[in-house]
């Protein structure tokens, strides 16, 4: 290239080297010409000769300056550390501690629920629970499959299917850890803790866990516990409830929540920046909640449940549907509920060990709906058991006397409608109110309904309904269970028909006729009641007219066994009961079980009436289910040792089971056999 000059000769000098020429130099490695700026001036030596200049003492000076800088920096560091530790040590130490402590809430155990004899029906036990953190996914919660398999390999009895079922359960918040294993051994807990890297998202906690030792017994009555709801938290925040509380969600667990709930403890821990606990700063131990003692007798409850379920199994085996039923035993002297059974039942511990979707579907969709308490929710037409109400209204008002007789021809003509008949098309002839109850004459009570209608200007339009409300039918009976669970039912009336018409105008007429009054008088029409209501009504008659609220709870007891509060009987109303009225009806109810004309006579053959009295009333209510008439079977009775105030009233109802004497009365007889032999035992208030 023209701008590169020819290479000149290279000369080596003793103290240096330079290019022979001012304009260019040569790369000694690649021999490539490199342009050098024209202003470049080679270094010179003394004497005017070109070459490198000899170096003097400058490197030593530079090292000295560097050493002084390092020394100054070290001194500054020492001074700063001294200031932090000595001058600001206390202040900074308190700040450090402020940001490295945490408080952990320890759930307080719930108080126990005891039967009247001291047996534990529900209690909290501390046990290790393993939870798994999962995240919401497109088809449900998702967890690490590897972690799931490790848990299955570690914990006996745990399966992948069980974990997946727990993750898919809708009873837990999408963001809270899911309990996947209960009753975990301490050795498994230690292994998880020591190998946390293998179990990310897994936590083992020792927590109070609710247990129901008798599993399926009185399940719906006891209720269950679950994590606190937002509504409950808002309602009970003033009592110190927190978002991690376990609270009663149904039954007695909910009704007596504020008494049963324990108080949480607090542990304050000092932790390092990694979150590991350094030491416990302070701790307050959780406090056990108070206990609830029930009027309910455990042995009696077991006998009632067994008798009810056995009879229903027989009915189903004979071809009847009999999908559900209930039985109640009460003390008519004070309203104490001694037994309450609902069929079908389920294991209350499902709510503790994990309520799977399949289990929940069984509770809410299976025939019989086991989640429901049919003793307080199973409203059905009362049939002839309602004759107690109509007869009391007729006698108290003067519509009839105990000696009034009506000719039961078996067929009751009803203007503008088809005639009505007795249940078995029988004709009893001339009967008074006592005989009409004993033999269950429908014709007699058709006539009373007609007479009240014809004399409505004198007695008003609703004399029978008014008496029913005094007995507790169609009203909330005050039982100590959550109000949203108790079905008050209703007694058919012009007001009820108007309300039904508003809801279904194509089904119900907005009028009230003679035929409606006649049907209502013998327990049909649109009247529906529950077993607990009929038990209350007959208990009111048995004690002479005082209606007590049914009471399951007997007392609240402290964790140390001290009586805090006795749950006293509550009077709800009073039914006027003149001696003439009471005796006429009592003779009829006694005849139902003891006279050969009685509808339940065959069920009580062989019972020891020399020592005990038992009186009652059968009921067979017509109900249309899927266009098929399915009778509801009722029997209500009161009894006790002869010559003493009646001690027990028993009400049994079985859906779609046929005649009252053929189904429910069988169960009542078995219950009285037990009561005759065993009674209920004394109430223990200290535990």
Tokens of 556: 């609240």
Least confident of 154-163, 320-329, 431-440, 442-451: 154-163
pLDDT at 543 over 70: yes
DSSP letter (8 states) at residue 254: H
What counts of helices (H) and strands (E) characterise the chain? Answer: 23, 31
Asked whether residue 596 is assigned to any structural domain, the reply reads yes
**245 closest CA partner among 207, 202, 283:** 207
Task: Identify each DSSP E strand in 133-260 by its residue range.
Answer: 135-137, 140-142, 178-184, 202-211, 225-227, 246-248
458 and 353 in a common domain: yes
Say if residues 328 and 321 touch (Cβ distance below 8 Å): no
466 and 406 in a common domain: yes
206 vs 549, higher pLDDT: 549
Torsion-angle region of residue 327: left (phi > 0), alpha (psi -120 to 50) or beta?
Answer: beta
C-alpha distances (whole Å) from 605 to each of 262, 531, 567, 601 are 52, 25, 39, 6
Q: What is the CATH number of the domain that holds 218?
A: 3.90.1310.10
Mean pLDDT for the stretch of residues 526-546: 97
Say if residues 638 and 542 touch (Cβ distance below 8 Å): yes
CA 400 and chain centroid, separation: 49
Task: Write down the pLDDT at residue 36.
Answer: 39
Task: Write down the pLDDT at residue 415.
Answer: 86
Tokens 């727990």 locate to 166
Say if residues 440 and 593 touch (Cβ distance below 8 Å): no
229 vs 485, higher pLDDT: 485
Mean pLDDT for the stretch of residues 548-564: 96
**290 closest CA partner among 570, 569, 682, 687:** 687
| Residue 551 exposed, middle or buried by CB count within 10 Å (0-12, 13-18, 19+) | buried
Long-range contacts of range 46-54, CB-CB < 8 Å, 24 or more positions apart?
Answer: 50/16, 50/18, 51/13, 51/15, 51/16, 51/18, 52/15, 52/16
Least confident of 91-100, 173-182, 353-362, 480-489: 91-100
Asked whether residue 68 is assigned to any structural domain, the reply reads no
Say if residues 208 and 109 touch (Cβ distance below 8 Å): yes
Q: Is 263 helix (H, G, I), strand (E, B) or coil?
A: strand
**353 closest CA partner among 550, 500, 211:** 211
C-alpha distances (whole Å) from 356 to each of 145, 372, 463 are 19, 18, 51
Q: List CB contacts of 318: < 8 A, sequence separation 6 or more.
A: none
C-alpha–C-alpha distance, residues 348 and 222, integer Å: 9
pLDDT at 470 over 70: yes
pLDDT at 14 over 80: no
pLDDT at 354 over 70: no
Torsion-angle region of residue 181: left (phi > 0), alpha (psi -120 to 50) or beta?
Answer: beta
Q: List CB contacts of 668: < 8 A, sequence separation 6 or more.
A: 603, 616, 635, 636, 637, 650, 652
Task: Write down the pLDDT at residue 85.
Answer: 65
pLDDT at 687 over 80: no
Confidence of residue 88 (pLDDT cuts 50, 70, 90): low
**346 closest CA partner among 225, 214, 254:** 214
CA 331 and chain centroid, separation: 27
pLDDT at 2 over 50: no
pLDDT at 468 over 80: yes
Task: Identify each DSSP E strand in 320-405 by its residue range.
Answer: 325-330, 337-343
pLDDT at 170 over 80: no
pLDDT at 445 over 80: yes
C-alpha–C-alpha distance, residues 397 and 402, integer Å: 12
pLDDT, tens digit (0-9, with 9 covering 90-100), for 501-514: 999 999 888 899 99
As beta bridge partners, residue 227 has 246
623 vs 34, higher pLDDT: 623
354 and 274 in a common domain: no
pLDDT, tens digit (0-9, with 9 covering 90-100), for 391-444: 999 999 999 999 999 999 999 998 888 888 877 778 999 999 999 999 999 999
Asked whether residue 61 is assigned to any structural domain, the reply reads no
Asked whether residue 80 is assigned to any structural domain, the reply reads no
DSSP letter (8 states) at residue 89: H
Tokens of 294: 């029930």
**102 closest CA partner among 301, 269, 298:** 269
User: For the stretch 223-237, what's the b/e string if a residue is b when 16 or more beta carbons lie within 10 angstroms of its beta carbon?
Assistant: bbbbbbeeebeeebe
Q: Is 192 helix (H, G, I), strand (E, B) or coil?
A: helix
C-alpha distances (whole Å) from 511 to each of 164, 181, 413, 506, 516 are 56, 60, 21, 13, 9
Asked whether residue 683 is assigned to any structural domain, the reply reads no
Q: What is the CATH number of the domain that holds 658?
A: 3.40.710.10
275 and 336 in a common domain: no
Mean pLDDT for the stretch of residues 465-492: 94
Confidence of residue 92 (pLDDT cuts 50, 70, 90): low
**515 closest CA partner among 635, 632, 413, 594:** 413
289 and 303 in a common domain: no
Least confident of 134-143, 287-296, 469-478: 134-143
Report cis status (omega within 30 of 0) of the bond before 61: no
Confidence of residue 30 (pLDDT cuts 50, 70, 90): very low
| Residue 203 exposed, middle or buried by CB count within 10 Å (0-12, 13-18, 19+) | middle
Number of domains, the chain = 3
344 and 244 in a common domain: no
Q: What is the CB neighbour count within 10 angstroms for residue 684? A: 16
**End-of-domain residue from the set 294, 323, 355:** 294
Average pLDDT of the chain, as a whole number = 86
C-alpha distances (whole Å) from 471 to each of 485, 528, 571, 577 are 21, 14, 12, 11
442 and 554 in a common domain: yes
pLDDT at 3 over 60: no
Tokens of 459: 């007695």
Q: List CB contacts of 625: < 8 A, sequence separation 6 or more.
A: 321, 656
Task: Write down the pLDDT at residue 166.
Answer: 78
Tokens of 226: 């679950």
Task: Identify each DSSP E strand in 194-324 by its residue range.
Answer: 202-211, 225-227, 246-248, 265-271, 277-284, 291-294
How are the residues of the chain apportioned to helix, strand and coil, as percentages rounded to the nearest 5? 35, 25, 40
Torsion sign across C-alpha atoms 509, 515, 519, 521: positive
pLDDT at 237 over 50: yes
Q: Which of 275-279, 447-451, 682-686 has the highest mean pLDDT?
A: 447-451
322 and 270 in a common domain: no
Q: Which domain holds residue 23?
A: 1-35
Confidence of residue 676 (pLDDT cuts 50, 70, 90): very high
Asked whether residue 81 is assigned to any structural domain, the reply reads no
Q: List CB contacts of 297: < 8 A, sequence separation 6 or more.
A: 115, 116, 117, 338, 339, 680, 681
C-alpha distances (whole Å) from 655 to each of 329, 344, 664 are 18, 12, 10
Task: Write down the pLDDT at residue 630.
Answer: 82
Asked whether residue 332 is assigned to any structural domain, the reply reads yes
Task: Identify each DSSP E strand in 90-199 by its residue range.
Answer: 101-106, 113-114, 120-132, 135-137, 140-142, 178-184
Pairing of strands 291-294, 113-114: parallel
pLDDT, tens digit (0-9, with 9 covering 90-100), for 562-605: 999 999 999 999 999 999 999 999 999 999 999 999 999 999 99
Task: Write down the pLDDT at residue 24.
Answer: 40
Mean pLDDT for the stretch of residues 113-136: 90
C-alpha–C-alpha distance, residues 254 and 278, integer Å: 40
pTM above 0.85, yes or no: no
345 and 203 in a common domain: no
347 and 279 in a common domain: no
675 vs 279, higher pLDDT: 675
Asked whether residue 487 is assigned to any structural domain, the reply reads yes
554 and 532 in a common domain: yes
Task: Write down the pLDDT at residue 51.
Answer: 45
**408 closest CA partner among 388, 428, 435, 389:** 428
Q: List CB contacts of 596: < 8 A, sequence separation 6 or more.
A: none
523 and 398 in a common domain: yes
**End-of-domain residue from the set 262, 294, 326:** 294
Determine what percent of the chain is predicted with pLDDT higher than 90: 59
pLDDT at 31 over 50: no
Q: How many residues does the chain have?
A: 687
Q: Which of 165-169, 305-309, 417-421, 681-685 has the highest mean pLDDT?
A: 305-309
**End-of-domain residue from the set 294, 323, 351:** 294
Confidence of residue 545 (pLDDT cuts 50, 70, 90): very high
């Amino acid at each position: 290239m023209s701008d590169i000059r020819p290479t000149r000769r290279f000369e080596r000098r003793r103290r240096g080297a330079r290019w022979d020429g001012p304009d260019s130099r040569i790369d000694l490695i690649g021999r490539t010409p490199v342009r050098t700026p024209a202003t470049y001036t080679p270094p010179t030596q003394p004497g005017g000769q070109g070459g490198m200049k000899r170096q003097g003492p400058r490197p030593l000076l530079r090292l000295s300056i560097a050493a002084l800088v390092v020394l100054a920096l070290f001194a500054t560091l020492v001074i700063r550390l001294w200031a932090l530790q000595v001058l600001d040590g206390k202040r900074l130490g308190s700040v450090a501690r402020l940001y490295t402590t945490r408080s952990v809430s320890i759930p307080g155990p719930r108080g126990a629920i005891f039967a009247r004899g001291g047996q534990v029906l529900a209690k909290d036990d501390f046990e290790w629970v393993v939870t798994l953190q999962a995240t919401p996914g497109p088809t449900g919660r998702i967890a690490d499959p590897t972690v799931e398999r490790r848990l299955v390999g570690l914990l006996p009895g745990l399966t992948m299917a069980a974990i997946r079922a727990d993750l898919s359960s809708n009873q837990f918040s999408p963001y809270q850890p899911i309990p996947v294993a209960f009753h975990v051994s301490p050795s498994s807990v230690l292994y998880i803790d020591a190998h946390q890297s293998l179990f990310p998202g897994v936590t083992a906690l020792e927590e109070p866990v609710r247990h129901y030792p008798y599993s399926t017994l009185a399940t719906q009555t006891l209720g269950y516990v679950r994590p606190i709801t937002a509504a409950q938290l808002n309602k009970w925040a003033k009592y110190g409830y927190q978002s991690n509380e376990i609270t009663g969600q149904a039954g007695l667990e909910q009704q007596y929540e504020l008494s049963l709930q324990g108080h949480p403890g607090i542990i304050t821990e000092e932790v390092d920046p990694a979150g590991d606990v350094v030491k416990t700063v302070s701790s307050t131990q959780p406090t056990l909640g108070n206990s609830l003692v029930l009027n309910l007798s455990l042995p009696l409850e077991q006998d009632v449940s067994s008798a009810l379920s056995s009879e229903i199994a027989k009915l189903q085996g004979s071809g009847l549907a009999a999908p559900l039923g209930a039985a109640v035993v009460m003390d008519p002297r004070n309203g104490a509920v001694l037994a309450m059974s609902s069929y079908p039942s389920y294991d209350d511990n499902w709510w503790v060990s994990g309520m799977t979707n399949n289990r929940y579907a069984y509770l809410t969709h299976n025939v019989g709906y086991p989640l429901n308490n049919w003793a307080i929710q199973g409203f059905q037409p009362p049939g002839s058991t309602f004759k107690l109400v109509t007869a009391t209204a007729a006698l108290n008002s003067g519509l009839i006397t105990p000696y009034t007789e009506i000719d039961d021809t078996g067929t009751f003509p009803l203007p503008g409608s088809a005639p009505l008949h007795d249940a078995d098309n029988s004709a009893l002839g001339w009967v008074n109110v006592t005989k009409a109850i004993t033999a269950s004459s429908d014709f007699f009570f058709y006539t009373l309904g007609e007479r009240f209608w014809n004399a409505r200007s004198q007695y008003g339009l609703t004399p029978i309904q008014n008496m029913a409300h005094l007995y507790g039918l169609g009203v909330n009976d005050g039982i100590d269970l959550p109000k949203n669970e108790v079905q008050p039912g209703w007694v058919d009336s012009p007001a009820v028909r108007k309300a039904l018409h508003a809801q279904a105008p194509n089904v119900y007429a907005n009028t009230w006729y003679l035929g409606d009054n006649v049907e209502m008088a013998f327990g049909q029409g649109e009247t529906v009641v529950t077993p607990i209501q009929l038990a209350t009504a007959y208990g009111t008659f048995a004690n002479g007219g005082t209606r007590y609220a049914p009471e399951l709870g007997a007392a609240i007891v402290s964790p140390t066994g001290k009586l805090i509060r006795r749950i006293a009987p509550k009077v709800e109303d009073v039914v006027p009961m003149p001696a003439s009225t009471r005796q006429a009806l009592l003779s009829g109810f006694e005849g139902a079980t003891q006279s050969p004309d009685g509808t339940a006579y065959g069920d009580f053959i062989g019972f020891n009436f020399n020592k005990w009295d038992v009186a009652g009333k059968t009921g067979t209510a017509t109900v249309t289910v899927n266009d098929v008439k399915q009778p509801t079977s009722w029997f209500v009775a009161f009894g006790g040792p002869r010559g003493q105030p009646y001690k027990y009233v028993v009400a049994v109802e079985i859906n779609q089971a046929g005649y009252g004497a053929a189904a429910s009365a069988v169960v009542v007889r078995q219950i009285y056999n037990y009561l005759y032999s065993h009674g209920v035992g004394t109430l223990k208030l200290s535990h």
